[in-house]
Structure 1
Amino acid sequence: MANPVEEQIGRLALIAGNGSLPGQIADALASEGREFEVIAIKGEANAATRHMAGVILGWGEVGRLYNFLKNNGCDDVLLIGGVTRRPDFTSIFGDFGTFRRLPSIFRALTGGDDSLLTKVIRLFEKEGFRVVGIKDVVPQLLASSGVLGNVQPKSKDWHDLELALKATEKLGELDIGQAAVAVGGRVIALEGAEGTDAMLVRCADLKNSGRVRNKGRSGVLVKTAKPGQDLRVDLPTIGPKTIELAVSAGLCGIAVEAYGALISNKEETLKKADSEGLFLIGIDGSSDAEEAGK
């Protein structure tokens, strides 16, 4: 039976930033026979993404972007991949379509990251497009509920998991970050603007310097969405590098929000976690962690 959400979605446009994720999504869509176009962001998209793209556009070519979408019958838009820098105001003076939209674009470039993402979505919606998320088109790339690999959490791991989960909830309330690490019954790191990878490097430094004294591997990384976070454009994500950094930090496992977190290079990530003896689990919330730990 067809997915009722998919039945409602028209021809899809992938507006692709950096990283390998745009290619993974394109492969998944192609395997399902889904029609789509790739628009690569100039200066962000990698060579593989640029090769599959129907057009490569810079920040000052908003008019060309909208024309391309309309000319190719793209009703729906998926914003995917990383963007390393926000364009400055001088970079958006491009074609006429950009110029006449400058007031809306200026407003979209102000505010914090969450504000920016929300305003970008509104820009597309104002033009008659619908912004969709990975959950709408390739939900198989998301973390499911329960233990995802072959390694099971031990009883001692559940307390750290629950503690780190509570920390992410507080972080989310303050709109600070998505991840936290707990080791030996205490939170040792909270994610800030540096991101999850840099936080894990910091955890490894704490262990190597003796500031975290637990012997052997212990501790859990938890990564969840912020309350009210728009999952169409800002999914919490882990991948093979996350596994490597968690192992370097001496952690036992990783917990992510079930159906609310993306696993990049999913097969490779799960295989690497298993080979490293690291558990990977999808949790539904604090109550789910509390029940599992009993």
Structure 2
Amino acid sequence: MDRLGLIAGNGRFPFLLLEAARARGLHVVVAAIKEETDPEMDTRAANDNGMEVHWMSLGELSKLIDTFQKAGVHNAVMAGQVRHKQIFSGIRPDWRLAKLLMSLSTRNTDMLLGAVAKVLSDEGIELISSTAYLEPMLAKQGVLTQRTPNETERNDIAYGLTVARGIAGFDLGQTVVIAAGACVAVEAMEGTDACIARAGALMGSLDDDASTLARSLTVVKVAKPKQDLRFDVPVVGVPTIRAMQAAGATCLAIEAGRTLLFDEENMLREANAAGIAVVGEQRPA
């Protein structure tokens, strides 16, 4: 049986990829990150003879390589978020990772993960796109909800796409929140949902009488210009809609074909119930 390595971060993404890989008859060897992976992974392994789980800390690059090599893994995927603040403050690197970190001139996420991918490749383990088994979950082009964006939201989407693609090019984040043509919040290390919450808190703090900004927020999330789909694929799901509802956001724009929709049916159901418009935008050529 062919073997696939799965480097599992947090959330449901690793479980969805696991199910898709098992449906193709693959034996999955999971490298579970102690600081991130849901303990449910052990429960799943106990009920599935076609997978095995090995727990390790975020900085144990040598253990990751040894685990995959001993299991006969030649192809691997990264699935699930590893929080940016964990990458830069939670790592206790082993000698191999410490050496890699010292060699980097720039220590942003893309640079670090790209270097890890190169080390794995040198050891005979190729990282492949995390969307390889999940293509049906990629967002489609067009309006995905019952409500279509209104004129103000359309204008905010257009502006937000320009801003989001600009910051994504610098690997700062992939999400911006817009209100009436003004950028209210830009994602950094905190993640999409926290960025949305920050925008909602900021808008809530404005003086109603003095504010010239509309109260509704439009959230725009994009892929990076040269997005490496082996890691850090844009993802939205039910938690995104709930974060938007709590913040008073009314519209979500994502890039069609480059954003994964988790639990799409329930996500769109909650969006419809909340009156939130969701639209898949085509990436320019």
TM-score above 0.5: yes
Match of 1:68 in 2: 67
SS in 2 for 1:189: strand
Match of 1:128 in 2: 124
Q: Is the 8 A contact 1:24 1:265 kept in 2?
A: no
| 1:87/1:256 CA distance change after superposition, 3 Å | closer
Q: Distance in 1 between matches of 2:9 and 2:54?
A: 13
Match of 1:197 in 2: 193
| 1:157/1:39 CA distance change after superposition, 3 Å | same
Alignment deviations for residues 14-33 of structure 1 (CA, whole Å, 9 cap, x no partner): 11122222112212333344
Match of 2:7 in 1: 15
Match of 1:44 in 2: 36
| 1:38/1:89 CA distance change after superposition, 3 Å | closer
SS in 2 for 1:26: helix
TM-score normalised per structure 1:
0.81
The equivalences for 1:1-294 within 5 A come to 11-51=3-43, 52=45, 53-59=52-58, 61-84=60-83, 85-86=86-87, 91-93=92-94, 103-104=99-100, 106-107=102-103, 111-210=107-206, 218-285=216-283
Give, in angstroms, the shift of residue 137 of structure 1: 2.0
Q: Distance in 2 between matches of 1:193 and 1:106?
A: 21
Q: Is the 8 A contact 2:253 2:278 kept in 1?
A: yes
Q: Distance in 2 between matches of 1:218 and 1:286?
A: 26
Q: Is the 8 A contact 1:108 1:120 kept in 2?
A: no
SS in 2 for 1:15: strand
Q: Distance in 1 between matches of 2:97 and 2:245?
A: 47
| 1:69/1:226 CA distance change after superposition, 3 Å | same
1:206 is matched by which residue type in structure 2?
L
1:267 is matched by which residue type in structure 2?
E
Q: Distance in 2 between matches of 1:270 and 1:86?
A: 32
Alignment deviations for residues 51-79 of structure 1 (CA, whole Å, 9 cap, x no partner): 33422223465444333323333221111
Q: Distance in 2 between matches of 1:62 and 1:169?
A: 32
Q: Is the 8 A contact 1:207 1:213 kept in 2?
A: no
| 1:247/1:101 CA distance change after superposition, 3 Å | closer
Q: Distance in 1 between matches of 2:130 and 2:202?
A: 35
| 1:19/1:106 CA distance change after superposition, 3 Å | farther
| 1:155/1:33 CA distance change after superposition, 3 Å | farther
SS in 1 for 2:74: strand
The more displaced of 144-153 and 130-139 is 144-153
Q: Is the 8 A contact 2:109 2:171 kept in 1?
A: no
1:259 is matched by which residue type in structure 2?
G
Q: Is the 8 A contact 2:176 2:183 kept in 1?
A: yes
Q: Distance in 2 between matches of 1:90 and 1:203?
A: 29
Superposition RMSD in Å: 2.8
Alignment deviations for residues 96-123 of structure 1 (CA, whole Å, 9 cap, x no partner): xxx5786346536972222111111111
Alignment deviations for residues 104-163 of structure 1 (CA, whole Å, 9 cap, x no partner): 465369722221111111111111111112222221222222222333223332111101
Q: Distance in 1 between matches of 2:104 and 2:78?
A: 15
Give, in angstroms, the shift of residue 12 of structure 1: 1.5
Q: Is the 8 A contact 1:223 1:236 kept in 2?
A: yes
2:79 is matched by which residue type in structure 1?
I
| Number of aligned residues | 272
2:186 is matched by which residue type in structure 1?
L
2:275 is matched by which residue type in structure 1?
G
Match of 1:96 in 2: none
Structure 2: give runs of 5+ residues left out of the alignment. Answer: 46-51
Percent identity between matched residues is: 29
Match of 1:290 in 2: none
Match of 1:3 in 2: none
